[in-house]
Chains A and B, each alone.
Chain A
Amino acid sequence: MSHLTYREAISAAIWEEMERDESVFLLGEDIGLGGGAFYITKGFQERFGRERVVDMPLSEAGFTGAAIGAALNGMRPIVEFQFADFVTESFKMIVDFAGGNHYRQMGPVPIVLRLPSASLTSAGPFHSQNPEPWFFSTPGLKIAAPTTAYDAKGMMKTAIRDNNPVLYLEYKKFYSYPLGDLPEVLRPDIPDEDYTVPFGKARVLRKGGDISLITFGTTVLEALEAADILDSEGVQVEVIDMRTIFPFDKNAILNTTRKTGKLLILHEARKRGGVAGEFASIVAEEAFEFLDAPIRRVGAIDTPVPMSPPLEKVYLPGTERVVDALRELAAY
């Protein structure tokens, strides 16, 4: 057993996969000597060489396309984006060529796109976004969203071994989050032996019978904090981390809603057009007669991500808004 940080877990997973499988190689800006924007690949070039840890020019569309081409020729490239926000440069490559290729040409595209995502205090509109709503409706793409070091390692291995293109959302907020400050449920022990975490399996972070709170990504923190507050008010909130955004664990959503009859869906991405809308629709379609209250969503408000810390606080779905929504559901 070891206690890795989230950042160390991602590094370890990639290292171990590169040791295991020679077709795995890395592309990205400054990933060689620089070790990448967040030092995930620090020391990799020394160990695996320039052939497998390849620095790229400032052209995301270009090197995403190169990675897709390599994947079509039997390689398993991992593409680092310095920030998830920059993935829009590669949009056509990902949506049309990576996502659609298996359908059009019968050829799988086993690439992993590493997207350092979401807010980190005051990083501004180009370095704070959550990319999943842009890709969620595209067939052929998988979207992983690990929140713990355990999941980060196990899901990176699953992503690398998967034959489909995987958008791997890694949360900057968790890279160096002090282990001691994390709720215990978010720091499970990491086995020394090789393991993977399957896609499409949600995890119950906290059991409860009164309200279901479904979330993923950074907002697991707010979800757990809010559930604690509601607990002190006599309301038991069941908190579920979806872990993969696609494929997502539909049964987990339906089962917890059938149990509690009250559902709050929370994510850091903006509420409008967010994944919560899809989850809510599925409940409305398949578990309507189990609802005892309107489905609620909490997400960021409808603006770009502000740079100013006080404004960013208003923008993000903080614990207070989650608590308010839970209280309203409890009282409904």
Chain B
Amino acid sequence: MYQARVRMPQMGSSVHESTVIEWKKAVGDRVLKGEPLVSAESDKVEFAIEAPASGVLKEILVASEKIVAVGEVLAVLETDEPFSEEEITPPTPSGPPKTSEWTAPVAPMKRERYKPTSPRPTQRPLQAEDGGITTPQADLNYNMPLISRNMWLSPRVQRLAAEHGLNLGAVASLAGSGTNGRVTAQDVDRLIAAKNSQESDIIKLIFSPMVPPEARERTEPLSRLRKRIAENLTRSVQQIPQVTTFLEVDMSDITAWRAAHKDEFEHKHGAKLTYNPFFALAIIAALRDPENERLNGTFEDDALTIKRYVNLGLAVDSPEGLMVPVLRDADGLGFADLVLALTDIADRARTGKLAPEEVKEGTITLTNFGASGALWGNPIINPPEAAIVGTGAVAPRAIALPGGGVGVRPTMGLSVTFDHRANNGIAAGRFAATVRTALEGMDLSQLEF
């Protein structure tokens, strides 16, 4: 065994000291001659200091961020062969130094082939199989530097992009599935498939009758269930003087929180985390305020019965028609229980497995028509309740930001329809605004599951 000392090189005649930035190797690591050991920075350039010989890094004498005089020993290598310091090759600066300041450092300047400086964490180099003649040095030079892989587009990727009119910048910015994030042809295929499926949304115009003459009309009598739903809806609009108020809600925080937690939630509880639980939380939070209590209750026989508990109705589109199952005492549920209970009643409403008492005695109803893509809706009250809350699609839109200016935020149209006999517009407006505040300012850190 022999020893080789690694010294801080001189990077220009006026440079007397340089800063050690980062050690690329740890004590005990095996290093090859020419491999970057440590990065350093003078006031002129940032540069890598390479191992002067192959061996094992035995000792690191200078920590990162330390300023070191030129010539000072930085590390000691235990090498396989005797090593004389005359062989030291000066490092290649990563930025071009001013030529007037560049003088030959410790040893005469020697041009070296470019070597990749990034480590290869996961993949072995694509090297020749014939171990007989390849040297480790040759292996290092075999590939293009992996550091640029994710920006490098293969010929196939470029051809695919050109054929399908894709912007190369957009292709390069894909999260690639190849080694070191390289964008593979399969990634581009997926992008093209996504684009094609969007194109299939285009509706073709056809200039001929829709159906053959015998199929021009058909009559569908209402089922018993749908008849009851129809009667209820008719009673709502015929008997209730109802008014809707609209507000725009900035959903940035909830959208981000949901995106960050929905996979974990589903993994843990086996249920999808939709927006509905957040709406329910906001409605309940708003109704806790006694100033909004008149929105939660029933209006019958010229009397408003105010309820100080929340039986939340949830409008569900089932194959049988509109169903409004009721989640009882929703105000007493924790977050995860609330999500699971809402999922449960919605699932059972869709599959026709609700008990009759589960569609009764709601105190307020939530209808999320945004799932269909609608931005705004004008819901009608589920009699005899006093109000219904409607939520539109959460989608990025340009809105005026609180601090001035315009920004693109995920926003949502919120509508509250109220029975004008039970409430006036001011009260309903205050309730709607409280729901909005509860959505925009929800303390999401309290949500545990």
Contact = CB atoms under 8 A, between A and B. Distances in A.
A66 B184 CA distance: 57
A288 interface: yes
A290 B156 contact: yes
A116 interface: no
A290 B291 CA distance: 68
Contacts of B129: 271, 298-299, 301, 317, 321, 325
Contacts of A271: 128-130
B131 to A, nearest CB: 7
B294 interface: no
Size bracket, chain A contacts: 20 to 34
Given A271-B128, A317-B129, A331-B123, 10 more contacts: A261-B154, A261-B185, A271-B129, A288-B155, A290-B159, A291-B156, A292-B184, A300-B130, A301-B130, A331-B179
B262 to A, nearest CB: 27
A289 interface: yes
A317 B88 CA distance: 39
Nearest to A317: B129
Interface residues of B, number: 20
A120 interface: no
A193 interface: no
A301 B130 CA distance: 4
Helix, strand, loop or mixed for chain B's interface?
loop
A322 to B, nearest CB: 10
Contact of A332 (B131, B133, B159, B179): B179
A105 B337 CA distance: 94
Contacts of B131: 301
Interface of A: 261, 270-272, 288-294, 296, 298-303, 317, 321, 325, 328, 331-332
7 contacts: A292-B154, A301-B130, A301-B131, A302-B132, A325-B129, A328-B126, A331-B123
A317 B124 CA distance: 18
B178 interface: yes
A269 to B, nearest CB: 12
B156 A261 contact: yes
4 nearest interchain CB pairs? A292-B156, A301-B130, A292-B185, A289-B159
Contacts of B157: 292
A331 B186 CA distance: 11
A242 B182 CA distance: 32
Contacts of B178: 331-332
Contacts of A289: 155-156, 158-159
A101 to B, nearest CB: 37
Contacts of A298: 129
Interface string B177-190: 01100101100000
Interface in B99-128: 123-124, 126, 128
